[in-house]
């Protein structure tokens, strides 16, 4: 009887920790999304988009979709944001000269 209660408590504790991580990731994703849409500096907006993509990949990972989360982090969080930032830096260097 006590062992069964202990198992239930541990399972509930793990589920609660996972839910807390998901809530934190959702809140962080929303903050990054609002920053990406609302910032005036386009470089910081692109970096916020990268942060949002990484947090969204982590959210996919916690929902038992590790391949989708990994691709989200690598392709959008890495490659697309690096492309955006490099284009922004090239355009800014031409505007200064």
What is the rounded distance in angstroms from the CA atom of residue 64 to the CA atom of residue 69? 9
**Cβ–Cβ < 8 Å for 68, 60:** yes
What is the pLDDT, as a whole number, of residue 1? 47
What is the rounded distance in angstroms from the CA atom of residue 50 to the CA atom of residue 47? 5
What is the rounded distance in angstroms from the CA atom of residue 2 to the CA atom of residue 41? 59
pLDDT digits (tens, 9 = 90+) for 21-78: 999 999 999 999 999 999 999 889 999 999 999 999 999 999 999 999 999 999 988 8
């Amino acid at each position: 009887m006590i062992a069964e209660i202990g198992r239930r408590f541990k399972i509930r504790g793990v589920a609660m920790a996972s839910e807390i991580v998901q809530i934190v990731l959702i809140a962080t994703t929303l903050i990054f999304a609002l920053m990406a849409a609302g910032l005036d500096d386009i470089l910081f907006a692109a970096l916020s988009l990268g942060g949002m993509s990484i947090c969204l990949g982590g959210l996919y990972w916690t929902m038992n979709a590790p391949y989708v989360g990994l691709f989200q982090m690598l392709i959008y969080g890495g490659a697309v944001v690096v492309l955006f930032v490099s284009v922004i830096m090239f355009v800014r260097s031409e505007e200064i000269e």
